[in-house]
Amino acid sequence: MVGKNLKKGAIVVLESTVFPGVSEDLMAPILERDSGMKCGKDFFIGYSPERINPGDEEHILKNIYKIVSGMDKKSTDDLCELYAMVTNVYRAPNIKTAEAAKVIENVQRDLNIALMNELSRDLCPARA
């Protein structure tokens, strides 16, 4: 749907947690196919993962750093300028690094949850 409605000069930003390489290796070719345009010439891509945790009162939008990267310097500059209107920005060196940062963040969160679940089960057997 995005590819069919893509306008020349647009920057398509993926914000989902994905394996490193998805934006450039999967999303860009699909957008090229569906739009009939060329990525890097007619449109551009970027990545900036969602970092808000629902219910987390401390890490609200104004307190977080939004990881931002584009496929080249200009798209990165444009995206950083856009996101800086809303929150703090961390400029990642490239899209794959930004994608990897989000995966690592999720792995850390999941490991912490698993650890607490295991400790809770072992230390409070009546609750298990």
> pLDDT tens across 16-58, in order?
989 999 999 999 999 999 999 999 999 999 999 987 777 778 8
Name residue 45's beta-bridge partners.
12
Q: The domain at 3-127 falls in which architecture?
A: 3-Layer(aba) Sandwich (3.40)
Q: Under 8 Å CB-to-CB from 50, ≥6 apart: which residues? A: 15, 16, 17
Q: Enumerate the domain spans of the chain.
A: 3-127
- CB distance 81 to 73 below 8 Å: no
Q: Under 8 Å CB-to-CB from 27, ≥6 apart: which residues? A: 12, 14, 45
**Tens-place pLDDT, residues 65-109:** 999 999 999 999 999 999 999 999 999 999 999 999 987 887 777
